[in-house]
Amino acid sequence: MKQETKNTPQGTERVALVTGGSRGIGLGIVKCLIADGFSVMLNGVRPEESVADVLKDLRDGGADVAYCAGDVSDADARKRLIDATRETFGALHVLVNNAGVAPKVRADILDAEEDSYDWVMDVNLKGPYFLTQLAARWMLEQKEADPAWSGAIVNVNSISATVVSINRGEYCVSKAGLAMATGLWAARLGEHDIPVYEVRPGVTATDMTAGVQEKYDKLIDEGLTITPRWGQPDDVGKAVASLARGDFPYSTGQVIMVDGGLSVPRL
Is 40 in a helix, a strand, or coil?
Answer: strand
The answer to whether position 92 is within a domain reads: yes
What is the Cα–Cα distance from 4 to 217, expressed in whole angstroms? 44
Q: Are 214 and 187 in contact (CB under 8 A)?
A: no
With a CB cutoff of 8 Å and minimum separation 6, the contacts of 163 are: 172, 262, 263
The answer to whether position 134 is within a domain reads: yes
Asked if 171 is an active-site residue, the reply is yes
- What pLDDT, in 10s, does the model give residues 204-237? 998 878 888 999 999 999 999 999 999 999 999 9
What CATH number did the domain enclosing 84 receive? Answer: 3.40.50.720
The answer to whether position 267 is within a domain reads: no
Structural domain range at position 230: 15-258
User: Each residue of 125-135: b (16+ CB within 10 Å) or e?
Assistant: bbbbbebbebb
What mean pLDDT do residues 82-107 have? 97
pTM of the model: 0.94
- As a whole number, the mean pLDDT across the chain is 95
What mean pLDDT do residues 169-198 have? 98
User: Each residue of 90-117: b (16+ CB within 10 Å) or e?
Assistant: bbbbbbbbbbbbbbeebbeeeebeeebb
The answer to whether position 28 is within a domain reads: yes
The answer to whether position 263 is within a domain reads: no
How many domains does the structure of the chain reveal?
1
Write phi, then psi, for 249 (nearest 5 degrees): -70, -20
- Annotated active-site residue in 171, 197, 216, 250: 171
The answer to whether position 264 is within a domain reads: no
The answer to whether position 10 is within a domain reads: no
Question: What is the model's pLDDT at position 11?
Answer: 43
- What pLDDT, in 10s, does the model give residues 31-55? 999 999 999 999 999 999 999 999 9
Question: What is the model's pLDDT at position 210?
Answer: 83
The answer to whether position 2 is within a domain reads: no
